[in-house]
Amino acid sequence: MAATLRRFIPDYNPEKGISVSIEPGETVARIIELLGIPKEEVKIVMVNGVHASLDHQLSGDERVAFFPPVGGG
């Protein structure tokens, strides 16, 4: 089974994504919390296509992507 975070967000549409309203200064970690994704399930964070940390502060108009740990061989 492929690693995925979609299981935490019912009715997720990958074509549309999800819009989350936040106050400027909120962190990536807060978005993860609002979405109900366990932090340990998120391995990579991208903000506007650039790698970011969980404590990265957002202004509210960014595109944020989360990726789980991936195994392979």
Tell me the pLDDT band of 15, cut-offs 50, 70 and 90. Answer: confident
For residue 60, what are the domain limits?
A: 6-10+22-67
At 27, list the tokens: 């962190």
pLDDT of 3 over the 60 cut: no
3-state helix, strand, coil in the chain (%, to 5): 20, 20, 65
Distances (CA, A) of 33 to 1, 46, 55: 25, 16, 12
Supply the CATH number for residue 47's domain: 3.10.20
Domain for residue 1, yes or no? no
Chain segment 22-66, per-residue pLDDT in tens:
999 999 999 999 999 999 999 999 999 999 999 999 998 899 999
| Cα–Cα distance measured from residue 49 to residue 33, given in angstroms and rounded to the nearest whole number | 21
Number of domains in the chain: 1
Domain for residue 16, yes or no? no
Domain for residue 42, yes or no? yes
Domain for residue 15, yes or no? no
pLDDT of 7 over the 70 cut: yes
Domain for residue 41, yes or no? yes
| Cα–Cα distance measured from residue 66 to residue 63, given in angstroms and rounded to the nearest whole number | 10
Give the pLDDT of residue 45. Answer: 96
